[in-house]
């Protein structure tokens, strides 16, 4: 470890808040960055100590300019991304990592942290995210926040779809890339698109009288014999069905 980094880390070694040393080092030396090659292209990953600060599908020069403009911090190229972070990027599993989202607004942070809760292999809608963070009328703002997500793949904005069930666009490669990522996670994309064409938004079970979003783990267990499709929440509730406690297809209590 370089001597200057040792000295900076020592500043936070005694009675300092968690992460203090990493923030000092980042401010002095800049965030480190390196590439990770994925199934949809080369992403550049930046981190500051233990905090991930960016994951972007760009040319290197474009990434450096974007990062320094957005965060007002310098970048320094290193040989490789830490193994644990690289594995998480490739697996699209980011729930156990720590993020530096200091360059975005509190609303945008709320959107991204809620999106981080969406299980792998499942999707939710923009309106679901808006309702879950207590801003049900801010669906368009949620879409904008996700379009500008500085850390895709790890914060899985590809798991958010339109309210009508259509897959929708994706900032890191468009709809084709989004569908490929979802398919890799086990989402039956073709079936999801068929449901959207039929305007089916929820799946219920006539044995439990519970309705879910189509990709919910509980919905996937329902056999064809007991499967009931609903177009709206009101239709499901009028039929005597209650919302799933796992996927929360209606507003959170």
Which secondary-structure segment (H or E) carries 195?
Answer: helix 189-197
Residue 226 has what DSSP assignment?
G
* 157 given a catalytic annotation: yes
Burial-class residue 55 by CB neighbours within 10 Å (0-12, 13-18, 19+).
buried
Q: Which residue has the tokens 């897959």?
A: 167
Closest by Cα among 128, 224, 119 to 182: 119
Residue 60 CB neighbour total at 10 angstroms: 13
Instruction: Please identify which of the residues 157, 212, 216, 247 carries the catalytic annotation.
Output: 157
Contact present, 55 and 154 (Cβ < 8 Å): yes
How far is C-alpha 208 from the geometric centre of its chain's CA atoms?
Answer: 30
- Report, as residue numbers or ranges, the catalytic residues: 157
């Amino acid at each position: 470890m370089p001597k200057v980094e040792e000295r900076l880390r020592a500043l936070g070694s005694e009675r300092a808040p968690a992460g203090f040393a990493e923030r000092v080092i980042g401010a002095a030396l800049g965030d480190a960055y390196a590439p990770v090659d994925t199934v949809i292209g080369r992403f550049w990953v930046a981190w500051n100590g233990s905090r991930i600060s960016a994951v972007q599908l760009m040319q290197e020069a474009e990434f450096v300019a974007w990062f320094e403009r957005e965060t007002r911090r310098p970048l320094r190229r290193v040989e490789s991304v830490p193994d644990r972070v690289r594995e998480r990027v490739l697996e699209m599993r980011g729930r156990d990592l720590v993020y530096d989202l200091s360059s975005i607004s509190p609303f945008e942070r709320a959107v991204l942290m809620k999106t981080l809760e969406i299980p792998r292999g499942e999707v939710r809608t923009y309106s679901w995210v808006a309702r879950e963070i207590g801003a049900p009328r801010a669906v368009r703002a949620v879409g904008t926040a996700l379009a500008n997500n500085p850390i895709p793949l790890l914060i899985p904005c590809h798991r958010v779809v339109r309210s009508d069930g259509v897959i929708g666009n994706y900032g890191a490669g468009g709809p084709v890339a989004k569908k490929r990522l979802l398919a890799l996670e086990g989402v039956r994309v073709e079936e999801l698109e068929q449901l959207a064409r039929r305007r089916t938004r929820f799946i219920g079970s006539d044995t439990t009288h519970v309705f879910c979003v189509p990709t919910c783990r509980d919905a996937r267990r329902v056999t064809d014999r007991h499967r009931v499709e609903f177009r709206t929440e009101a239709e499901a509730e009028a039929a005597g069905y209650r919302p799933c406690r796992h996927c929360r297809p209606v507003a959170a209590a």
